[in-house]
Amino acid sequence: MGIERPRTYGEHYWALQVEAAAEFDEQLERAYAPYFSRILAEIPEIRNLPAGLRNFVKALETPASAGMGGFALGVGVELIDEVIHTALEAPMMVMQRDLRKGAREKWLNPDQANILFQRKKIPHDFWELILACEGYEDVLSDFHYKSQLPYPSIPDLILYSRYHGDPANVWGTMQDFFNVDPVDFKLWEWLGLQRLTSMDAHTLLRRGLLSEGDYRTKLSEIGWSREIHDSVKEIGWTMPNAMLVVQGDLMQELPNDKGRIQA
């Protein structure tokens, strides 16, 4: 019963189909195996593959069973296709360049046309022609052009709004020029504010307007790490020049080895 011992017509027909398929695969193997063997022998990099993958590739040369025929043929077709594609890639590029040299089908894109028109390198009629060839209506051409014109940044607009509106509330003036998100606006406005510098903080400390703790907090806000707060504080002090130091030593009648300026 089955393929080995068919009893019915269906089983007998099925057995013949299996036998024919196996014979077909065998013929495929005999046809492509020599070509695979020669091709793979000319690829020395195969020996650098992992052992499992290397054995799999080697099996394409001498398939272990008839069932490998169809699969190996598919792999062979892919391999040949890739080889042909690689071999013809350079000649095809040369041919494409020759064709394009004759056809010259390239055309300025709208962005390039806008830049050239802004710089007065092309007349309005030519700019209009390029945009029309790209499918833009006249009104859309103008919008496309305006979209690429230089425009002040948000910080620049905030600065303008302080001088041409209410400095304490620049939101209203800002809305005349830019649709900034209300949530993001708080960030932009703060980034545009002036902040204390390291020297400002040190001056306030010397005048007694900042405590030691507040001074160090300001240094951290400015961006100084805690490890160098003392160094930043030290360089903030104003030192007298060498002449004044020598005069002070002389007035105190300090000996040379006790002076604060060493020769």
Q: What is the Cα–Cα distance from 23 to 31, expressed in whole angstroms?
A: 12
CA distances from 170 to 153, 155, 181, 184, 232 (A): 15, 11, 14, 14, 35
> CA dist 8 to 1, 14, 72, 260, Å?
8, 10, 34, 119
pLDDT in tens, the chain (263 residues): 555 666 665 666 666 676 666 666 666 666 666 666 666 666 666 677 777 766 766 666 666 665 565 666 666 667 666 766 776 788 888 888 888 888 888 889 999 999 999 999 999 999 999 999 999 999 999 999 999 999 999 999 999 999 999 999 999 999 999 999 999 999 999 999 999 999 999 999 999 999 999 999 999 999 999 999 999 998 888 777 778 777 777 787 777 666 555 55
Rounded to whole angstroms, the Cα distance separating 170 from 187 reads: 13
3-state secondary structure of 232: helix
Q: Is the alpha carbon torsion for 12, 15, 20, 23 positive or negative?
A: negative
